[in-house]
Chain A
Amino acid sequence: MWTVFKLQWLRLFKQPVLMVTFLGLTLLFVYFLAGAQGTQTISVPTYSEELTSEELNEWIDRLNEEETFLFVESDYETVYDNIRMNETAFALGLTQENYEFLIGREDMEISTLIQYVDQIFVTEMRLQGVETDFGLTGLEVTEFIEIETRSHAAAVSSGDRYRLGIVVGMSLYFSVFSILFLMINLVEEKQTGTWNRLIFSPLTKTKIYLGQLTHYLLAGMIQIGLAFLILRVLVGIDLGTNYLEMGVIIFSFVFAIVSLGMLLMGIVNTPQQLQVVIPIVTTSMAMLGGAFWPLEVVTNRLLLFLGDLMPIKYGMEAMVDTIVHDHTLSQLIVPLSALILMGILFMGVGINLMERVSDN
């Protein structure tokens, strides 16, 4: 088994273009779609036609106490022009006792922003009311109830969650590509006759299959692990510290994908046909499984049902739950079981089909 396993690595080192390309594509897509903006704070142009510059800056300082948004002083004309030219999505206007938003286009951050500004404004208005009523100055808010947040969930905005979905989805999507394309080697071996040459040898079929499949499994795990590592170190994307859970999820996901590869190779048995089938299957799976957009936006029941059959959905679900909600292995039992079950089913049917083809 190890002889076959080591040979596959030697072949990969001789021709690493495929794996390197897909790893590069993962990093590229994640960087441009999510990573580059991943840690940025959202800038909010803030103006006032009633307040003095000093009063406006006092409000801006107060609003900037939290780091989620960056409120930047501006004036109405500039803000209006920028919104009209679609250079800014929204802006905050302050008056003596109220505030307003200028909104040029829908943006997923607006609801969070409105909630945030409302909370600050209500608190400040109440403080001012108490100071006026009781003739006091310099009042401060003391929190009597402190809530300890045990996960990132509360701190993660909808935008962050969307970006995390992209990071995980794209990494898994491209890893599926490289695993399945790498597995074409197995079909090529059957075509060139090296597979038969191994069958003639004293090696058992089980050892030959194990040597091959362990290689694909490990190669897939390394690709995802490497992508996450690079994204974390170079792009600064926070993927949590639950290494054991992430390792188990990656293993289960790659196992399901390698098994899916075996199933595809049992059905389609020439490299040329596989080169057509793999992109179709991979992209459909990613779309249905929610790697390209959140499944929350899908309402069609059939599409949701099909999504339930896609390994990528469970892989993403488990990873996001671990990163955002710190889910432990026992809490991940449903997606992990789904992946393992799919893996066993695909592998069983796939090997049977492959053996039937070779017997004929």
Chain B
Amino acid sequence: MLETKDLTKVFKKTTAVNQVNIYLEKGESVGLLGPNGAGKSTTISMISTLLPPTSGEVRFNGEDALKHSQRLRKVMGVVPQEIALYEELSAYENMRFFGKVYGLRGKELETRVQDVLELIGLTDRKKDAINTYSGGMKRRINIGVTLLHEPEILIMDEPTVGIDPQSRNYILDMIRTLNREKDITVLYTSHYMEEVEKLCDRVYIMDHGEIIASGTNEELKSILSNEETIQIHVHTLSPAFRDTLSKHGSVRKVTEEGQGYKVIAPKGEDLLGEVFELAKQTKTKITGVAIQTPTLEDVFLHLTGRTLRD
């Protein structure tokens, strides 16, 4: 349905996106996962025909989407990272305006506005100015105006940034419903791996402007099938303990996480006993140990040596 071929964007001397190849099949939910500055937003801007690529192409149903941008724009909805709304106007006024922009008029417009307001749970507050809304409500209306013309493809650029867990869950459930029940194709970018894991059928992992891995959640996690993650909680963080762990022959990676360390090591190695021994040597008090199944976060860590929030 929608694909990119060697999509590249160079800003002056910086290559923001380098030969990115992505495809979306109809009804799929695809995640684009990467840390801040990985090039996700630039990729989305090019896919949504906002930004012309330096080289490469975007194809929609086999046609050059950049040459025939109007065809793609009519069936695409883009949820930007920022709250792109007229804050002095009410939710209802914003919706009517953006509905008209997509050619909706009269009764059809009114029905769509009411339907979307209900979907996003803002019918009661529809007459209030956006600048009186909470962060979560703003995010919901930010998505809502994109749904008015019933898009076939929904491109979302970190739509849950900076909101409370309750609003985030509401939004994620809504997107999942749209994808599963209305068969809307979703391209979802985020640096929250839990969101991508929860929502997406397939995931592209992006770093420094390049796709470094892709596949279903399970396929990606299988990269770490020979490894396991040990989460060690300590009383006080100890650089000496960390260094000793890093130098251990069986340890692949050590990262600091919260009040402890995350250790990736080959499966089957009896490392736990040695971990306690090393802690004793460096006078570090261990308060808890957990062996975890790998997450996409671990995959990213394995591939780049950094966490998604670095």
Contact = CB atoms under 8 A, between A and B. Distances in A.
Contacts of A198: 101
Contacts of A203: 101
Interface stretch (A7-15, A134-142, A220-228, A299-307): A7-15
B167 to A, nearest CB: 19
B84 A197 contact: yes
Nearest to B45: A196
Interface string A7-32: 10011001100000000000000000
Contacts of B86: 7, 11, 194
Contact of A11 (B50, B84, B88): B88
A11 B82 contact: no
A7 B82 CA distance: 20
Nearest to B88: A14
A115 interface: no
Contact of A202 (B74, B78, B83, B93): B74
Nearest to B52: A359
A201 interface: yes
A203 B103 CA distance: 9
Interface in A172-211: 192-194, 196-203
A196 B84 contact: yes
A194 B97 CA distance: 11
B101 A201 contact: yes
Given A192-B82, A197-B80, A202 B98 contact: no
A7 B51 CA distance: 25
Interface in B14-52: 48-52
A196 B83 CA distance: 11
Nearest to A199: B50
Contacts of B48: 200
B98 A197 contact: yes
B82 A200 contact: no
B112 to A, nearest CB: 15
A95 interface: no
A193 B84 contact: yes
Nearest to A201: B101
Contacts, number: 61
A317 B103 CA distance: 45
A7 B97 contact: yes
Interface residues of A, number: 20
Interface string B163-184: 0000000000000000000000
Nearest to B85: A194
Contacts of B87: 192
A14 B189 CA distance: 35
B84 A15 contact: no
- DSSP majority for the B interface? loop
Given A3-B101, A7-B97, A11-B89, A200 B50 contact: yes
Interface in A331-360: 359-360
B206 interface: no
Interface in B120-165: 129, 145
Given A3-B101, A198-B101, A199-B50, A10 B11 contact: no
Nearest to A12: B88
A20 to B, nearest CB: 15
Given A3-B101, A11-B89, A202-B103, A194 B84 contact: yes
Nearest to B11: A360
A338 B139 CA distance: 48
B70 A202 contact: yes
Interface in A100-126: none
A193 B50 CA distance: 12
A47 B247 CA distance: 112
Contacts of B76: 200
A193 B49 CA distance: 15
B52 to A, nearest CB: 7
Contacts of A7: 86, 97
Nearest to A200: B78
B16 to A, nearest CB: 11
A197 B80 CA distance: 8
Given A3-B97, A202-B74, A196 B50 contact: yes
Contact of B89 (A10, A192, A193): A10
Contacts of B85: 192, 194
Contact of A10 (B49, B51, B93, B103): B93
Interface string B64-93: 000000100110101011111111110001
Given A3-B97, A3-B101, A200 B88 contact: no
Contact of B102 (A192, A196, A202): A202
A201 B50 CA distance: 10
A202 B80 contact: no
A210 to B, nearest CB: 14
Contacts of A192: 82-85, 87
Contact of A14 (B11, B70, B89): B89
B11 to A, nearest CB: 6
Contacts of A199: 50
B98 A200 contact: no
B184 to A, nearest CB: 16
Q: Name which of B50, B76, B83, B84 has the most chain A CB atoms within 10 A of its CB.
A: B84
B285 interface: no
Contacts of B73: 200-202
B5 interface: no
27 contacts: A3-B97, A3-B101, A7-B97, A10-B89, A10-B93, A11-B88, A11-B89, A14-B88, A14-B129, A192-B85, A193-B82, A193-B83, A193-B84, A196-B84, A197-B80, A197-B98, A199-B50, A200-B49, A200-B76, A201-B73, A201-B98, A201-B102, A202-B73, A202-B103, A203-B101, A359-B51, A360-B12
Given A192-B87, A360-B11, 14 more contacts: A4-B101, A7-B86, A7-B97, A10-B89, A10-B97, A11-B89, A15-B88, A197-B78, A200-B48, A200-B78, A201-B73, A201-B102, A359-B51, A360-B12
Q: Which 5 interchain pairs have the tightest Cβ spacing?
A: A193-B84, A193-B82, A200-B78, A3-B100, A197-B84
Interface of A: 3-4, 7, 10-11, 14-15, 192-194, 196-203, 359-360
